[in-house]
Amino acid sequence: MRAYADLHLHASTENSLSELLGKAKELGYRLVGVSIPIHTPKEERERLRDACKRINLDLAFRVDLTPKSPRELLEALRAVRRRFELVSVLCLSKAVARCAARDRRVDLLNFPPHPRGRFFDRSEAELASNSLSCLEINMNCLLELRGASRARLISKLRRELKLAGKFGVPVVLSSGAKHPLTLRGPREYAALAHTLLDMGLEDALDAISETPKSIVERNREKLSPNFVAPGIRVVKVGGDCRGRSGGDT
């Protein structure tokens, strides 16, 4: 059975956040990414984590960066990368989009909902394919827009997904929900991506289960104190290490 994940929930108040987390659990999500401000106190984070643990929901903290220039992005990344499990960049200009796609510290590339603000083109896809960043699609935009603007967005997203597939850029489907009534089940998002964005149903389900899960796991490993480099971690520290492995005592 798939473990579904929604990496983009954000609420304005604590009450609405707890409602949102409860609804996410009810709809079958096992992992959620909650967007919080950069300077959220540690006690607040622990309280949220405990609340999620009580309802058996895995919580990952996420930060949404909206830099105006590449320099601002690099400074922000230096400040937040070791403090958050997920780093998302809302690319408001082409220069920021290019810089974010190139940087290995960025997990999710996010674009504004209006089609003219989306900079995921061929070069962007090529840069993203060489780093670790994924293309994030906020499904809430498809629910909020109506008529011609939704049609334009669907057409743009379809093109982006085709490019992402061509260059092997992983795609993540997220809700971007702010209220329980705007949150939908994982199969509904997969159905939207399958029918409107021409994604294969299995690919769409992976984009809301396996891909987000692998991003969080990779980052948790990196944030753990035992991490040395990709593929290398400290297994044991102490005097008895030599005696067990070497046999030369």
Partner 1 sequence: MPREVRRRYVALRVEGVDTVDRRTLEGAIRAAILALFGEYGLSKVEFTVIECSGENAIVRCNHNALQMLRASTATITEIRGKPAAIRIVKVSGTLKALRRKTRSLFKPVDIVKPGDDNAVPDGPKREGVKSS
Residues at the site binding partner 1, with contacts judged by CB under 8 A: 27, 142-144, 146-147, 179-185, 187-189, 191-192, 194-196, 201
Provide the minimum distance between the beta carbon of 12 and partner 1 in the complex, in angstroms, as a whole number.
Answer: 16
Provide the minimum distance between the beta carbon of 140 and partner 1 in the complex, in angstroms, as a whole number.
Answer: 10
Beta partners for residue 5, in sequence order? 31
Cβ-based nearer residue to partner 1, 60 or 199: 199
- Contact call for residues 196 and 154 (beta carbons, < 8 A): yes
Cβ-based nearer residue to partner 1, 9 or 125: 9
Cβ-based nearer residue to partner 1, 80 or 145: 145
Provide the minimum distance between the beta carbon of 226 and partner 1 in the complex, in angstroms, as a whole number.
Answer: 41
The pair of three-digit structure tokens given for residue 155, joined into one six-digit string: 């057409």
Q: How many Å separate Cα 19 from the centre of its chain?
A: 21
Q: Are strands 232-233 and 86-90 parallel, antiparallel or unpaired?
A: unpaired
| CA 178/CA 23 separation, integer angstroms | 12
| CA 138/CA 173 separation, integer angstroms | 6
Q: Which residues contact 52 (CB under 8 A, 6 or more apart)?
A: 21, 32, 58, 59
Provide the minimum distance between the beta carbon of 151 and partner 1 in the complex, in angstroms, as a whole number.
Answer: 10
| CA 227/CA 168 separation, integer angstroms | 27
Cβ-based nearer residue to partner 1, 37 or 147: 147
Provide the minimum distance between the beta carbon of 102 and partner 1 in the complex, in angstroms, as a whole number.
Answer: 34
Cβ-based nearer residue to partner 1, 115 or 180: 180
Cβ-based nearer residue to partner 1, 110 or 175: 175
Provide the minimum distance between the beta carbon of 205 and partner 1 in the complex, in angstroms, as a whole number.
Answer: 11
Cβ-based nearer residue to partner 1, 30 or 98: 30
Q: Which of 164, 194, 172 is nearest to 5 (CA)?
A: 172
C-alpha angle 164/170/171, rounded to 5°?
A: 80
Provide the minimum distance between the beta carbon of 73 and partner 1 in the complex, in angstroms, as a whole number.
Answer: 33
Q: Which residues contact 169 (CB under 8 A, 6 or more apart)?
A: 125, 128, 129, 133, 134, 135, 163
